[in-house]
Amino acid sequence: MTDRGLIIRHGGVVVFNSRRAAGGVCLGMFRVPGAQTVLSFPHMPRGRTPIVVYSDGSMHSNWLYDEVMGYPRFVFPAVAMSASANYTVGVYLK
Which of 54, 65, 67, 81 binds another protein (CB under 8 A)? It is 54
- Give the span between the Cα atoms of 68 and 44, in whole angstroms: 13
E strands in the chain: 7-10, 13-17, 25-33, 37-40, 50-54, 64-66, 73-76, 86-93
- The mark string for 74-93 relative to another protein (x by CB under 8 A, - otherwise) is --------------x-x--x
Which residues lie near another protein (CB under 8 A)? 1-2, 5-6, 8, 10, 13, 15-16, 18-31, 41, 43-45, 48-49, 51-63, 88, 90, 93-94
